[in-house]
Structure 1
Amino acid sequence: MSLHRKGRAALVLALVAVVGMAFRVSWNALRDIAGAVGADDTAAMLYPFVVDGLMALALIATLVLTGDARRFALRVLGAYTIASLVLNYVHGLVPELHGRTVDWGRLADWDPANWALVLLATSLPVGSIYFGSDLVAKVLHHRPAPIPATAANMEESTETERKRSTADLEESTPPQITAPVVRVPDRSPVDHRKPALALKPLPQIDPAPIAPIERRAVAAESTRPRRATGRVPAAAKSTRPKRTPEQLLTEARTATAGLPDEKVTAEGIRREIHTSPVNARMLRDALLAERAAASAV
């Protein structure tokens, strides 16, 4: 594993070195082209980064993006590669560009070719702004697709679940016993025209005596609580004496003495004197009847 990583690191470093040297060669030609189309010294030095730098950005985008976005990045990479190749080719054909003695805006003797080359050289920076921004936005908004589960991972996961399930079982499950189904033949239809055959009685066979089997009763230990049987002890009985209806009515009058008729309810009487709901309703009706009779007088 360590040798594999070292080999990959060495390959990447060699690629970076080759790309750096190629950029240096192309940088010379593109700088002279930029000076010929009117760029100052600073702009001419930055011009190669505009063209070849976008090529590097498009190459990285093709490694990250997928689908239509990846195809768009490949088109940008191909277009700027061809543009850089054309400008480097023109730089090799026009010796005056090396010493910057060429006329300003003159890259070819034939006017249509010159116009096309000047348009190409001046449009590349604008294209770098547009395409570079679009590629960066696509890379930032890209969401990688989930990695599909391979057969090895699925097999390993299945094996893990199988081992886990086997370890959870304390004992093996006994096989389920299915009783065989015996089909009883259908009874043949009785022909009433034929006389029934007389069946001979079978000789009676006395059953063989069965020796008694001694069984020992084993008391089953039960964890369920036993239900109380018999009489309730005196200590468990309520010590409060049972009240008569007259006593309940007297207590109800006292509890509802200062209440208006609409607030005399069975629930309120039940809570105040601690009686049953049936008695509370009877007391309520009696109290309301007494009040109605008193108000009528």
Structure 2
Amino acid sequence: MNRWGKSLLIAALVGVVAMAFRVSWNALKDVATATGADETAATLYPFVVDGLMALALVATLVLTGDARRFALRVLAAYTLASLVLNYVHGLVPELHDEVVDWGRLADWDPANWALVLLATSLPVGSIYFGSDLVAKVLHHRPIEHPTSTPNRDQSAETCVNRSTADLEVSTPAPITPTPAPAELPAAPVVSLVKSTDRVPVGVVAAESTRPRQATGRVPDVARSSRPNRTADQLLTEARTATADWTDRELTAEGIRKAVRTSPAKARVLRETLRAERGQSAGTGEAVA
């Protein structure tokens, strides 16, 4: 609906409410006069009852939660009270006359006492409930809606929980097994001291093959408990560990945990094993 249509709808609503208030105003004024109110009080009495209904309606549109339910209860209670007093005004013709029997709204005494109590308690209730509603509206803080949508939060959480070893970004090429280099013959060790001679004190044997350390001795705590493995050794261990795995279980994260290597090497091993399985499957089909 455009702005013009909304404005026309609001104007029509205001007109209907104003006319309904004028009709109810006549009945409530006569009831107030019958309960002993003077001319000024009787004129203001409809504003006390129907005016609080309008205030409760506005508070209902603003408040939320328990405060909104409280405003709805006040609106329902005063609407019912106004309906009862308008109904009594239609049943008692004497209320339309200028001279009425004060304090008499019904012929039956219990009903008359209840109606007089209802009519006289509405102004006091308007003071209490109206003040409470205004305080709730003034202290109400609107709820801030989150900027992110549930789908966006869910996708972000999925990205965080996903293992870095299973990401398909910038996957290196498979490892191609290379022949191990031939070992060089060990150099002959020449002893500077004859076997028959005794080794003097303070003389270091020349056959010591321990390399000289340039930066000092590495602490035992800093040393890795697992020796460095070559690419072939990693591939062999991965083949053995994943021999009975299915293609779905063959993930980089699983390989990384099985052979205890880095995520990058695990991705390379995964691609290599997948390529080998693909070649084996192609060979099997050709033979069949």
1:71 equivalent among 69, 72, 84: 69
Give yes or no for the alignment of 1:180 onto 2:174: yes
Aligned mates of 2:151, 2:21 — CA distance in 1: 44
1:28 equivalent among 15, 26, 29: 26
Aligned mates of 2:151, 2:16 — CA distance in 1: 39
Task: Spell out, residue by residue over 1:50-83, the C-alpha distance to the aligned partner (whole angstroms, 9 max, x if none).
Answer: 0000000000000000000000000000000000
1:99 matched residue in structure 2: 97
2:81 equivalent among 83, 94, 99: 83
Report the AA paired with residue 73 of structure 2. Answer: R
1:128 matched residue in structure 2: 126
How has the CA–CA distance of structure 1 residues 87 and 150 changed in structure 2, closer, same or farther, with 3 Å as cutoff? farther
Aligned pairs for 1:148-187 (under 5 A) are 148-149=146-147, 176=170, 178-182=172-176
TM-score calculated relative to the size of structure 1: 0.52
Aligned mates of 1:176, 1:117 — CA distance in 2: 84
Aligned mates of 2:179, 2:70 — CA distance in 1: 80
2:117 matched residue in structure 1: 119
Displacement of 1:99 in angstroms is: 1.1
Query: Secondary structure of the residue that 1:113 maps to in structure 2?
Result: helix
2:138 matched residue in structure 1: 140
Aligned mates of 1:11, 1:153 — CA distance in 2: 37
Unaligned runs of 5+ in 2: 157-168, 181-288
Query: Secondary structure of the residue that 1:143 maps to in structure 2?
Result: coil
2:11 equivalent among 5, 8, 13: 13
1:284 matched residue in structure 2: none
Report the AA paired with residue 175 of structure 2. Answer: V
How has the CA–CA distance of structure 1 residues 177 and 28 changed in structure 2, closer, same or farther, with 3 Å as cutoff? closer
Displacement of 1:32 in angstroms is: 0.5
Aligned residue pairs, count: 166
2:58 equivalent among 53, 57, 60: 60
Unaligned runs of 5+ in 1: 159-174, 187-297
How has the CA–CA distance of structure 1 residues 99 and 185 changed in structure 2, closer, same or farther, with 3 Å as cutoff? farther
Whether the 8 Å CA contact 1:105–1:118 is kept in 2: the answer is: yes
Task: Spell out, residue by residue over 1:191-249, the C-alpha distance to the aligned partner (whole angstroms, 9 max, x if none).
Answer: xxxxxxxxxxxxxxxxxxxxxxxxxxxxxxxxxxxxxxxxxxxxxxxxxxxxxxxxxxx
Whether the 8 Å CA contact 1:35–1:100 is kept in 2: the answer is: no
Report the AA paired with residue 36 of structure 2. Answer: G
Aligned mates of 1:59, 1:143 — CA distance in 2: 18
How has the CA–CA distance of structure 1 residues 180 and 45 changed in structure 2, closer, same or farther, with 3 Å as cutoff? same
Query: Secondary structure of the residue that 2:2 maps to in structure 1?
Result: helix
- Bigger radius of gyration, 1 or 2? 1
Aligned mates of 2:45, 2:71 — CA distance in 1: 21
Aligned-pair identity (%): 76
Whether the 8 Å CA contact 1:54–1:128 is kept in 2: the answer is: yes
Moved over 3 A (4+): 148-154, 182-186
1:44 matched residue in structure 2: 42
The root-mean-square deviation of aligned C-alpha atoms, in Å, is: 2.7
Report the AA paired with residue 123 of structure 1. Answer: S
Aligned mates of 2:34, 2:95 — CA distance in 1: 7
Task: Spell out, residue by residue over 1:12-32, the C-alpha distance to the aligned partner (whole angstroms, 9 max, x if none).
Answer: 000000000000000000000
Aligned mates of 1:124, 1:75 — CA distance in 2: 14
Aligned mates of 2:129, 2:80 — CA distance in 1: 15
Query: Secondary structure of the residue that 1:146 maps to in structure 2?
Result: coil
Task: Spell out, residue by residue over 1:234-267, the C-alpha distance to the aligned partner (whole angstroms, 9 max, x if none).
Answer: xxxxxxxxxxxxxxxxxxxxxxxxxxxxxxxxxx
How has the CA–CA distance of structure 1 residues 185 and 33 changed in structure 2, closer, same or farther, with 3 Å as cutoff? farther
